[in-house]
Chain A
Amino acid sequence: MQNHAGRTIAEKILGAHAGQELGAGEFAIVSVDQLLGTDGSAPMAIDLFARMGFEEVFEASRIAFSCDHYSPASSARIAALHEKMRDFARRRGIALFRVGEGIGHQRMVEEGRVRPGTIVAGADSHCVTYGALNALGIGIGASDLAAAMATGKIWLKVPQTLRIILKGRLDPPAQARDVILELLRRLRADGADYLALEFSGDGVTSLSIEERIVIANMATEAGAKAALFACDEPTREFLDGLGIRDCAPVEPDPQAHYVDSLTIDLSEVTPRLALPHHVDMVVPIGEAEGRPVDMVFIGTCTGGRASDIRAALAAIRKAGGIAPGVELVITPASRAELELLIADGSLAELTALGAVLTTPGCGACCGTSGAIPRDGATVISTGNRNFKGRMGAPHAEIFLASPAACGAAAATGRITQPKALAP
């Protein structure tokens, strides 16, 4: 297909896992290094695995299950699905992240299952998150997960790559969330369909791994198959903190072929807002300033780390509290992130201010557990999707914004420029 003279990160990782050189457009069977199934997909995959006629998985240490979409179980039926996952996992020695441990994507990173140059596939669209650590994180279906648990392999088409060049440095109160919202505005919801994104430029080095995770995570909202960052000094420091020292990072070849490239100057990014009910309907936050909000949700795999929750708290602290009538829902991405908030006193401060704390997990993001807004409510959220009905109420209006902007809204009861309450 393509000439093989220069390859992108995606082409190189996929080729290394197919045992042959691959170029964009080719179909291939590739081996996977790690697999994730959530309580939204693993129960179905377990049934399909049995229907495929398999009893044993290809390699238990390469599979993890996560009880996160229903954390805690929202009904007896869901509790039985959790038991089904536990039983399957226990019999085969598969790791299982229990209710309350956190969101699978966060746990995969914390456990060191995501390493540079590897393929980490999972039956959940937000597996693109792993690109922040130079891993090809890819979302698949439950049938794919079942086949991969049996064989260690998935089928796929090698994607073309769109290069995203980041320049400069973020200017607070703009946050990484505002960068990905701006990118979604420019790409639109289908702008990266079938494509891998590859981030480069001097702006990348200024972004922490957590900030890269925020950006990579929401690349799926533009349809991206993967969202890859190179492995640099911040990556190595992050991995070192997890005790990972031996890894094989993958860089693009100098002559790699890109379908297109797009530049974002981080210093020009200002606070953004995605309007209901489209992730790509993105405007400067000022355009909806003053709109009253009923619920503020700080959580999810893109916006629920301790640093996000602290950024929201900073705005609330500056204003002196949560506005009357606003329900502030805090759902840490994992128990480890919750413990960071306990250790520095942030959690005690939030609960004293009247915040509602829910179990680490996906929480209110997809309306499966956690706090569900009333119909007609206006919600501002650090989550990654604002589709109609997404949080469980068909007629709620969901705005997506940065943690700082969500904190400012909790403090004032209205959509507010985060600058007004910046530390």
Chain B
Amino acid sequence: MSLQLSLQGRARVFGDDINTDYIISSRRKRDARDEEEMARFLFEDIDPAFAASLERDDIIVAGKNFGCGSAMEVAVTVARAAGIRAIVAKSFARTFYRNAINNGLLPVIADTGLVKEGSRIEIAVAAGSTVVILDEGARRVPAQGIPPELVSIFTEGGLVLYIAKHRGFAIPLPR
């Protein structure tokens, strides 16, 4: 199965090893009622002004090992509640990666070294040829989209809807 989509937006650039506590702190998780309330504190401990500056088409861009640390799924669902649709990183920590796919948040692996804060970027996902397009189309960075075996979980709206629809996992996983 393959996935085709195109997303455009403003790059919001972070560094390496952004852990899930930095995405949303455990004390906000403790105190907040829901994801919408927590979304006001997205990235609070490393960039207190970030949440207020977030715009609807923003795409998170990061260095290596994005989402390391705690496996807490709210790090993904709060980003979704804040309107984030995709995250491009040099690499992801495995628990964040699976939580993203399970919640329909697009994780894209690419060399993000040349992406500038605030620049416009495009993510073009197609079978076998995902790219991140920078500098008004002048630069195309090869990227990895979602593995074919996991595409149906993503496109069907995440793991909850997938399991509800199939009453379990489709085995073997389609490629």
Chain A positions within 8 Å of B, measured between CB atoms, are 27-29, 40-41, 44, 48, 51-53, 69-70, 74-75, 77-78, 123-125, 139-144, 146-147, 150-151, 153, 155-157, 189-190, 193-194, 221, 223, 225, 278, 366-368, 385, 387-390, 392, 394
Contacts and interface: CB of A to CB of B under 8 A. Distances in A.
B99 A193 contact: no
A185 to B, nearest CB: 14
A367 B163 contact: no
Contacts of B76: 141
B138 interface: no
Given A141-B102, A153-B168, A27 B173 contact: yes
11 contacts: A41-B71, A125-B70, A125-B71, A139-B95, A141-B73, A142-B73, A146-B159, A155-B173, A385-B70, A390-B26, A394-B44
Nearest to B93: A223
A295 B158 CA distance: 43
A124 B71 contact: yes
Contacts of B158: 143
Contacts of B92: 193
Contact of B91 (A155, A190, A278, A390): A190
Given A28-B173, A155-B153, A385-B69, A52 B160 contact: yes
Interface string B51-65: 000000000000011
A349 to B, nearest CB: 32
Interface of A is mostly: loop
Contacts of A48: 160
A368 B27 CA distance: 6
Contacts of A123: 71, 73
A66 B104 CA distance: 28
B73 A143 contact: yes
B164 interface: yes
A70 B30 contact: yes
Residue among A143, A147, A389, A390 with max Cβ neighbours from chain B (10 Å):
A143
A75 B70 contact: no
Residue among B16, B70, B93 with max Cβ neighbours from chain A (10 Å):
B70
A44 B71 contact: no
Interface of B: 16-17, 19, 21-22, 25-27, 29-31, 33, 44-46, 64-65, 68-74, 76, 91-95, 98-99, 102-103, 147, 149-150, 153, 158-160, 163-164, 167-169, 171-173
Given A155-B173, A389-B22, A389-B45, 20 more contacts: A28-B172, A48-B160, A53-B164, A74-B30, A141-B99, A142-B73, A143-B103, A144-B98, A146-B159, A150-B163, A151-B163, A153-B169, A155-B153, A189-B65, A190-B65, A366-B21, A366-B70, A368-B29, A385-B19, A390-B21
Contacts of B16: 190
Nearest to A390: B21
Contact of A52 (B95, B99, B164): B164
Contacts of B21: 366, 385, 387-390
B155 to A, nearest CB: 15
B93 A193 contact: yes
A140 B98 contact: yes
Contact of B73 (A41, A52, A74, A394): A41
A51 B70 CA distance: 24
Contact of B30 (A28, A41, A144, A368): A368
